[in-house]
A and B are shown apart, each in its own frame.
Chain A
């Protein structure tokens, strides 16, 4: 079982990100269970969504308390809530920000050894989509960093979900994010 928790704010497409990830995983023949933490569907309010990924049927319905990966759509949340709570050692963290890890206080807040990627997802979305919606972008980054799902499955899920024009922009943005993280990983190696 691989468990993903997505943090963001209302309007950033947090729930859609979990849905897209679940559809991408399903398209690769695996089981997925995506669900939002409910009740805070207001623009700007902190929102959490979850996605479980498994080779087998997923039966448990509890919220994900010990994620293998975190996707942070709004880095301002790092200073406001205990965003890294329960994150597993050896897990993955993907953060949407133009700042570096030190400025984001990540070293101070993140107590376990993880693989980290920081990328300007909102800016990438603006370039390719013309709208500041970082959710699909970060899934491209997720694919590159974790290898849990292929970029192709992510872009297929985007094409299934959105109308052609919006889909094309999101696919381009997700692909750009995938390459951004791949280059980051390569230069760290």
Chain B
């Protein structure tokens, strides 16, 4: 049913419609409303056969999720920012053990300095942790991705992070169609684990693996991640057949036909960029947009296809590798190797700085003429920076 609802509430209802059996989480802004919503649904009896476990930390949340998932329970948790960092040790174990946990990351900056607002530093720090990472453009896609995530995770035996921009999406009220439990049932079959812990039939999982086979175990994880690319698309296509909406998948192109310049971005900024692309096209500019939904696995082939014919790609990132530059850029550059496409990176929206249409228009107008640096920090206060830098350098 179509409802005007807060993003967090919509996600809570969507997760409930997937009938998780164990939910454990520790509150942290901006994820809190999601797990609060789920705890209310468990308490008032509308989410049945589900145990909501209060834990003392994010580390405990992921540890409990691992235990629950290993017994064959459909398991969900959510976190953000410092909370994600606190659970990292267990995050790697979840993927290493092939446990299909679904976790929402309500994307938020990482301190210090402490900052509660949105960017992608938290999930990007977990680029290499072996989880899938799917990014939502809006709250409808956030809802749909959670439903798709359980199916991808369980069919591939890989945990999935659904990344949605903290505050910008989690706290925004917009209209969302949230499938009912009955509707989700036809799309998401009950979870049948390949292997699970059962006292009646004891097995040991997570045993130590030595140098003789560690490489092989890791290679298998690598291959499963690569294989999951096809699954991400298959599940999105099947979702469209069931629900009539084109959400999820590897990536989506917007008005890229014949475009000399293509902007690539992840998450909620895609919406703003669509408006900017429309404006610039109206002014006669040759520009289009690719929204990347699946960052892990990375759709190298689909991206090369999507960028075919472009002269340049502008990668907009809400996180960066200190001293190096764009994180997504590294993969994009590999995808377009030998295609003669120039790449430019713009770092924007750090720590919640609004990404405005005016700033994007100005930057992209210059980028279309290649009149920008390879890496630009959008709206950077250069005067302040230069003063500070010369002060610091003089003291060294």
Q: Are A60 and B116 in contact (CB under 8 A)?
A: no
CB <8 Å contact, A22 and B173: yes
CB-defined interface of B345-371 with A at 8 Å, one 1/0 digit per residue? Answer: 000000010111100000000000000
Q: Is B122 an interface residue (CB 8 A)?
A: no
* A24 CA to B269 CA, complexed, in Å: 26
Residue among A27, A36, A38, A58 making CB contact with B174, cutoff 8 Å: A58
Instruction: Give CA–CA (A26, B5) in the complex, Å.
Output: 10
Give the residue of B173, B352, B355 whose beta carbon is less than 8 angstroms from that of A19: B173
- Among candidates A38, A58, A65, residue contacting B116 with C-beta atoms closer than 8 Å: A38
Query: How near does chain B come to A70, taking the closest CB pair, in angstroms?
Result: 19
B4–A60 CB distance below 8 A: no
Contacts of A61 in B (CB 8 A): 168, 172, 268-269, 271-272, 355
Q: Let me know if A23 and B356 touch, CB within 8 A.
A: no
Residues 1-30 of chain A, each 1 if its beta carbon lies under 8 Å from chain B, else 0: 000000000000000001100110111000
Report the separation of the CA atoms of residues A58 and B268 in the bound assembly, to the nearest whole angstrom: 12
**Quick check: is A32 within 8 A (CB to CB) of the other chain?**
yes
Q: Which residue of A lies closest to B270 (CB)?
A: A59
Given A26-B4, A38-B167, A61-B271, answer yes or no on A31-B175 (Cβ-Cβ < 8 Å).
yes
Tell me, in angstroms, the Cα distance from A168 to B244 when the chains sit together: 39
Contacts of A33 in B (CB 8 A): 172-174
- Give residues 55-74 of A contacting B (CB, 8 Å): 58-63, 65
* Contact between A59 and B274, CB atoms less than 8 A apart: yes
A32 and B175: CB pair below 8 A? yes
Residue B275 at the chain A interface, CB threshold 8 Å: yes
A27 to B6, CA, bound (A): 15
For residue B308, CB closer than 8 A to chain A, the reply is no
**CB <8 Å contact, A18 and B173:** yes
CB distance from A38 to the nearest CB of B (A): 4
Task: Decide: A35 and B173 in contact? CB cutoff 8 A.
Answer: yes
Contacts of B272 in A (CB 8 A): 59-62
Which B residue's beta carbon lies closest to that of A32?
B4
The answer to whether the Cβ of B248 comes within 8 Å of any Cβ in the partner chain is no
CA distance A58 to B172 in the complex (A): 12
Q: Determine the chain A residues whose CB is within 8 A of the CB of B117 once the complex forms.
A: 38-39
| Cβ-defined contact, B355 with A34, below 8 A | no
**B275 in contact with A32 (CB, 8 Å):** no
Report A98 CB to chain B, min CB distance, Å.
31
What residues of B have a CB within 8 angstroms of the CB of A35 in the complex?
A: 167-168, 171-173
Residues B1-47 near A (CB distance < 8 A): 4, 6, 30
A26 to B274, CA, bound (A): 23
| Bound-state Cα–Cα, A65 to B359, Å | 13
Name the distance in Å between B165's Cβ and chain A's nearest Cβ. 8
What is the chain A residue whose CB lies nearest that of B359? A62
**Minimum distance in angstroms from A18 CB to a CB of chain B:** 7
Q: How many angstroms between the C-alpha atoms of A35 and B272 in the bound complex?
A: 15
Complex: how many Å from CA A168 to CA B19? 36
Distance between A188 CB and nearest chain B CB, rounded to angstroms: 33
Instruction: Assess the B357–A60 pair: CB atoms within 8 A.
Output: yes
A92 to chain B, nearest CB (A): 21
Q: Could you mark each residue 258-299 of chain B with 1 if its beta carbon is under 8 Å from any beta carbon of chain A, else 0?
A: 000000000011011011000000000000000000000000
B171 contact from A26, A31, A38, Cβ within 8 A? A38
A31 to B2, CA, bound (A): 12
- The distance from the CB of B268 to the nearest CB of chain A, in whole angstroms, is 5
Within the assembled complex, what's the spacing in Å between the Cα atoms of A39 and B168?
Answer: 12
Interface contacts beyond A34-B172, A35-B172: sample of 18 additional A-B pairs, CB < 8 Å, sorted by A: A19-B6, A22-B174, A27-B4, A32-B173, A32-B175, A34-B173, A34-B174, A38-B30, A38-B352, A58-B174, A59-B272, A59-B274, A60-B272, A61-B269, A62-B272, A62-B354, A62-B356, A65-B356
Q: List 7 A-B contacts (CB under 8 A).
A: A18-B173, A22-B173, A35-B168, A59-B275, A60-B275, A61-B272, A63-B356
